[in-house]
Amino acid sequence: MNIGKVPEAVLKRSIIRQIKTRRPEIIMGAAVGEDCAAIQLKEGEVFVMSTDPITGTSHEIGALAIHVTANDIASSGAEVIGVMLSVLLPEGTEETELKAMMKQVEETCHSLNIQTIGGHTEVTRVVNQPVITVTGIGKIVKDALVTTGGARPGDDVIVTKWIGLEGTSIIAHEKEAELLKRFSTSFVETAAGFIQYLSVVPEAAVAVRHGVTAMHDVTEGGIFGALWEVAEASGVGLSIDLKSIPVRQETIEVCEVFGLNPYQLISSGSMLITAPNGHDLVRKLGEEGINASVIGKVTEGNDRVLMNEDEVRYLEPPKSDELYKV
């Protein structure tokens, strides 16, 4: 495709016709010539919005883009109802590639009951790989809103599934040939398949029903970055048992190959939660087939302590994600 907005025929054929999921709240959605969407909410409900780009990979970019933004909104306890997409494509992109991205977007939206309600698609020389930025819109009853800054001293700290899932999946796809020199095909396929775990929408729903004080999806900067952000937003300290943080063996071994710290690796698919009765929540999550672990406590003061048997160290502000080293 040539530089500029994609042709109207392409817009209709490869984007708008791919959007099949519909929500009753959307009274005006994606259409040729429409620059806005319109959403009707009930009295007492509020919007929750978030936006994120996908820049670290082009593999499964449509699915990743939806999951990342849906996870942000789910962390507030809200239900995601719609997304708007800004898609920037490098010159020479084939229409089949665009259509494949939109298929990924729609399949992921359908699985989460989200409607694509608009956006913008353009071919431009300023990018050398596809970039998708997603703005998500969710709804929630005002009094039920969950924040990152709600953690209270005495709360348990819970992590769902395993850290490093997104980073491991991306590396396994992008560095497949290199990894196959060290590991079996089944090992690499398993690591790449971690993309299936990237949604935290299910655990957010369970956690909200159980009662939580704070939720934060673990993304750039990994679990160390997420722990710092929750503690900083809440004005509290932490006492964390490093060995209690759940991590898959595939993540450990992939990180060892490239000299990465798995605790600072992008980790979409894992939710960080604080709650008064963490072990009860872990049991509830387990009943829904979701792995989770209590990894520590929220404490008074500002000390954010990591304990590894007899070794004691302190959390630091988030650093650049380990993924960028690869």
pLDDT (tens digit, 9 = 90+) per residue, 99-111? 999 999 999 999 9
Q: Which residues are within 8 A (CB) of 34 and not within 5 positions of it... i.e. 6 or more apart?
A: 28, 118
- Bridge partners of residue 49, in order along the sequence: 137
pTM greater than 0.85: yes
DSSP 94: -
Domain hosting residue 15, numbered range: 4-144
Distance CA 79, CA 68 (A): 14
173 plus 291 within the same structural domain: yes
Q: Name the burial class of residue 87, with classes exposed (0-12), middle (13-18) and buried (19+) by CB atoms within 10 angstroms of its CB.
A: buried
Residue 59 sits in a domain whose CATH number is 3.30.1330.10
281 plus 308 within the same structural domain: yes
235 plus 303 within the same structural domain: yes
- pLDDT band at residue 258 under the 50/70/90 scheme: very high
16 plus 157 within the same structural domain: no
202 plus 316 within the same structural domain: yes
DSSP 243: G
207 plus 282 within the same structural domain: yes
Q: Is the pLDDT of residue 222 over 90?
A: yes
State the pLDDT at residue 11: 83
List pLDDT tens digits, range 264-319.
Answer: 999 999 999 999 999 999 999 999 999 999 999 999 999 999 999 889 999 998 88
Helix/strand number for the chain, H first, E second: 10, 14
**Structural domain tally of the chain?**
2
Q: Which residues are within 8 A (CB) of 189 and not within 5 positions of it... i.e. 6 or more apart?
A: none
